[in-house]
Amino acid sequence: MRRILLGLFLTLSLFEPIYAQISTDKKLNELSISSPKEYEIGGITITGSENLDNQIITLISGLQVGDKITLPGEETTKAIKNLWRQKLFDDVGIYVTEIKGSLIFLEIRLTELPKLSKYGIRGIKKSKQNSLREELDLSAGAIVTENLIISTQNTAREYFVEKGYLNATATVTKKPDTTRGNSVIIEISIDKGEKVKIQDINITGNEKLTDKQVRKAMDETKRKRIWNIFKSSKLKKEDYETDLKLIVEKYNSEGYRDARIVSDSIYQINEKRIAIDIEIEEGQKYYFRNITWLGNTKYSTETLAEVLKISKGDVYDATYLQERLFADPTGGDVSSLYLDNGYLFFDLNPVEVMVENDSIDIEMRIREGRQATVRSVTVVGNDRTNDKVIMRELRTKPGELFRRSDIQRSMRELQQLGFFEPTELNVNPQPDAATGTVDIEYSVVERSTSQLQLEGGWGGGSIVGTLGLSFNNFSAANLFNKKAWQPLPSGDGQTINLRATTNGTYYQAYSASFTEPWLGGKKPTSLTVSMYYNIQSNYQSKQSDDYGDLRVTGFTVGLGKRLKWPDDYFTLYQGIDLQRYNLNNYGGQLLGLSFSDGFINNINYRVTLGRNSTDYPIYPRKGSLFNITGEFTLPYSLWNDKDYDNISDQEKFKFLEYYKIKVNSSWFTEIFNKTVIKMAGEFGYLSFYNQDVGLPPFERFYVGGDGLQNFSLDGREVVGLRGYPNFSVVPTDVQPTEAGSVYTKFTLELRYLITENPNAQIFTLGFIEGGNDYARFDNYEPFKLKRSAGFGLRIFMPMFGLLGVDFGYGFDNIPNQGFEPSGWNTHFIIGQQF
């Protein structure tokens, strides 16, 4: 009876439900509920705990040997509470094992909660199970509490509710694991039910905007309609809440400043459909009236008003106001005007000073502050790239006036280097108002820049393969520093390219190049030196008496320079190319020459004026690329006094003479998030100085295919045109080996970025393309094109470059091969960027 009364007393003394006992086997008559007695703890034993140290349990309980406690009393109640709060035990009990005079000996008996040994998922496919496991984040060894069971059940259900299965249910059961002590196995049973779509979105209270306008304002929440092919009609709660705000923003942009959502409700029509009711209170339409400027001394009111681009009587649009003040994507807002002139401490606060009838007066309160100068510029995160390589690309210099546009341009230049992860680039300005200075810290995350380049394609009637090694961010200065070879010396931004191309026995090409981007280290003047050696046979065995080949040896040296005019996106490249063609029983019909043994020299000067304002090198979203290239040889025939009507081809082409003009350009525009339109055009023209000499047998244009630039047969220039086989588009009025001297190509691409993961950027594209090759400029018809359309995929991996495949359908015939359309052609792009 005393034990029962003592247990009842302790239970009633607790503030929360606790399973606990205090009992004794000896001297029970010494414990009196009515007369509590003080004891000294003589010893504490712990039973039932296998995973926690006894000293830790004793420490958590708050009971220590030597402590004075009163039984019955608060000390044992508090000890039970302390242990219970750990949420590690299924049962907690404190027992009296012995009493010796004033000494009392206690036993803390624990029953631990079971641990999770493993769990399984039923009711869904394995692919879905893997995705759900990432959401659940369960791991073996976790303590299985009721809270864990409930949260697992809710997480599993919400996972499918978010995907449109509003009737989804999740049941979690547990059973003992007989192979492990105090462990359980959890089984999660999923019943997705039918996917629920939005049948209708009903709008009420709207008079100024139509139902269609309101629904269109929502980005993600759409009705189930045939024409909504790019948007899902399932309900996502987070997106839905955002879309409700977008409705209000739409009204605000139309001048309805007080518009609000009065109520909204979601209800189920049947097992597969739900409906949404949205009630709107539009309020009154407002207009801008008087806009006044206070505190502006640097710029006049007229200048600021011109930048603001808001006039009296314009519809009141708070979002547009914020954009014109602080967030114009092109940098044409008022804030940028100040920040680009050093006013880092500038502050602007637009205040509605009067709302009268339908008009609002705005007061622009400006605190210009002092102009800030850059005190220091640092960079962090570059373990391989030397500081000087980064610093020379930055537009922010110590001692110069702070300009936000300089920071933006610096970030763009770092992206163009290709040494860093574009999404990880960051800048941290640290202004000091007391001194009027700012410290700027750039943060970079380096990535592997060297590439193993593999190219494959079909050319010259066989498979063509290329193996290339590109060592970017190379350091020639550390070639003899053994410690710098990891695996190659790096850090100075130089580039080495090694390439070998072959289609087996009949074609081989080898090349090597070196580029120093900052010759001398003080100005962005690049030096490029390259050498190449090509062998092309006439498809006869070397053992045959008919075997012949063409060997091309070349050397190029060029200088590139960044220009400041017309703007600093322009570059100028100038180079000299020395080529020697050695013919060994090779010529005749293959090249349209009258001799098969001999040599031809080509010494030309190349100049390229280019402009590149794109924002990203791999997947540009805005900006443009433009290049115009001129290639010129000396006009030998104008002064050598040779009679070209009575001269052999060997003598005639001993030194090639020609000039070639090429123009290509691309424009990129982001029309939606991650969706980009690319428009591109190309033009090439090869001509001569002397009618008697005519066009050279080399340097002609061959159009068609994937544009494998590294497979250049007998000096031809390859122009890709998807939907047609390689080199197949040539003029019909000349010999196929002669190819054309004029070409045109136009491209329209719609691109969508699937993922911008730095390890594998993936985007898809659809394209429309047209191009053609013409024998002479007299035959040039720029809009008589070989047309194609198709789609493709690109994957950029730092180690391999750009990998891709295109499926193109040629709508027109292949020249000299009948009148049937070219049809579907597959083009593999490996290690090539175009």
Task: Give 586-610 pLDDT, tens digit per residue.
Answer: 876 666 778 888 899 999 999 999 9
Structure tokens at 304: 């600021």
What is the spatial distance between Cα 780 and Cα 764, in angstroms, rounded to a whole number? 34
pLDDT > 60? residue 476: yes
Asked if residue 474 lies in contact with residue 492, where contact means CB atoms within 8 angstroms, the answer is yes
Whole-number CA gyration radius for the chain: 39
> Mean pLDDT across the stretch 554-575?
94
Residue 281 has pLDDT above 60, yes or no: yes
* pLDDT at residue 712 in the model: 55
pLDDT exceeds 70 at position 458: no
Model confidence over 629-656: pLDDT tens digits? 999 999 999 888 888 888 888 888 899 9
| pLDDT confidence tier of residue 11, bands split at 50, 70 and 90 | very low
**Tens digits of residue pLDDT in 52-64:** 788 888 888 888 8
Q: Is the pLDDT of residue 221 over 90?
A: no
Cα distance between residue 471 and residue 482, in whole Å: 17
Structure tokens at 723: 């939907």
Share of the chain above pLDDT 70, in %: 89
Q: 465 and 401 in contact (C-beta within 8 Å)?
A: no
Distance of CA 456 to the CA centre of its chain: 26
Mean pLDDT is lowest, of 356-360, 463-467, 800-804, for 463-467
CA 622 – CA 619 distance, rounded (Å): 9
Reading the block at residue 118, the tokens are 């493993």
For the segment 694-710, what is each residue's pLDDT rounded down to a tens digit? 888 888 898 998 875 44
Mean local confidence (pLDDT), 391-404: 94
Distance in angstroms (rounded) separating the CA atoms of residues 73 and 768: 87
Q: What DSSP assignment string belongs to 97-126?
A: EEEETTEEEEEEEEEEPPEEEEEEEESS-H
- Averaged pLDDT score across all residues of the chain: 85
Determine the angle formed by the axes of helices 146-161 and 126-136, rounding to 10 degrees: 130
* Mean pLDDT within 283-288: 95
**What is the DSSP secondary-structure string of 73-87?**
SHHHHHHHHHHHTTS
- State residue 422's pLDDT score: 83
Q: What is the DSSP letter of 814?
A: P
Give the separation between CA 121 and CA 127, rounded to whole angstroms: 11
Q: Are 447 and 385 in contact (CB under 8 A)?
A: no
Q: What is the pTM of this model?
A: 0.68
CA distance linking residue 93 with residue 87, whole number of Å: 14
Q: Catalogue the long-range contacts made by 814-823 (C-beta closer than 8 Å, 24 or more residues apart).
A: 814/724, 814/725, 814/728, 814/729, 815/728, 815/729, 815/730, 815/731, 815/732, 816/730, 816/732, 816/736, 817/728, 822/723, 822/724, 822/725, 822/728, 822/786, 822/788
Residue range 717-728: average pLDDT? 89
DSSP classification of residue 545:
T
Q: Residue 28 — very low, low, confident or very high, per pLDDT cuts 50/70/90? A: very low
- Residue type, position 32, single letter: S
Using the predicted structure, report yes or no on whether residue 24 has a pLDDT greater than 70: no
Q: Give helix then strand counts, H and E, for the chain.
A: 13, 34
Q: Going by C-beta distance under 8 Å and a sequence separation of 6 or more, which residues neighbour residue 44?
A: 58, 63, 64, 65, 105, 106, 107, 108
Residue 219 has, within 13 A of its CA and on its CB side, a CA count of 13
pLDDT over threshold 50, residue 577: yes
List, in sequence order, every beta strand (DSSP E) within 688-741. Answer: 701-703, 717-719
User: Closest Cα to residue 334, out of 315, 316, 320, 351?
Assistant: 320
CB 787 within 8 A of CB 810: yes
How many residues can be counted in the chain? 834
**DSSP 8-state class, residue 326:** I
**C-alpha–C-alpha distance, residues 122 and 735, integer Å:** 69
HEC readout, 472-525: EEECHHHCCCHHHCCCCCECCCEEEEEEEEECCCCEEEEEEEEEECCCCCCCCE
Q: What is the dihedral of CA 142, 148, 153, 157, to 10 degrees?
A: -80
Phi, psi of 79 (to 5 degrees): -65, -40
522-563 residue pLDDT tens:
889 999 999 999 898 877 888 888 888 889 999 999 999 999
Q: Which domains does the chain have, with CATH numbers?
A: 2-112 (3.10.20.310), 115-191 (3.10.20.310), 197-281 (3.10.20.310), 290-367 (3.10.20.310), 373-443 (3.10.20.310), 451-830 (2.40.160.50)
DSSP states along 422-455: GGG-EEEEEEETTTTEEEEEEE--B----EEEEE
Res. 503: pLDDT tops 80: no
* 477-491, 550-564, 667-681: segment of lowest average pLDDT: 477-491
Paired sense of beta strands 507-516 and 494-502, if any? antiparallel
Res. 34 pLDDT band, cuts 50 70 90: low
Using CA atoms, how far apart are residues 401 and 146, in angstroms rounded to an integer? 62
pLDDT digits (tens, 9 = 90+) for 779-809: 888 889 999 999 999 998 776 677 889 999 9
Compute the distance between CA of residue 295 and CA of residue 315 in angstroms, rounded to an integer: 26
* Confidence check: pLDDT of 834 > 50: no
How crowded is residue 730: how many other Cβ atoms within 10 Å of its Cβ?
26
Which comes out higher in pLDDT, residue 309 or 23? 309
pLDDT at residue 271 above 60?
A: yes
pLDDT over 50 at 613, yes or no: yes
Check: CB of residue 58 under 8 Å from CB of residue 46: yes
pLDDT category at 27 given cuts 50, 70, 90 is very low
pLDDT, mean of residues 409-436: 90
Collect all residues with Cβ–Cβ distance below 8 Å to 393 and sequence separation of at least 6: 410, 413, 414, 417
CA distance 202 to 269: 13
Q: Which residues pair with 95 in a beta bridge?
A: 107
The stretch 121-145 carries a mean pLDDT of 83
Closest to 717 in 3D by CA, of 681, 743, 693: 743
Asked if pLDDT for residue 17 goes beyond 60, the answer is no
pLDDT in tens, 183-204: 888 898 988 887 788 889 999 9
* E-state strands within 26-86: 37-47, 68-71
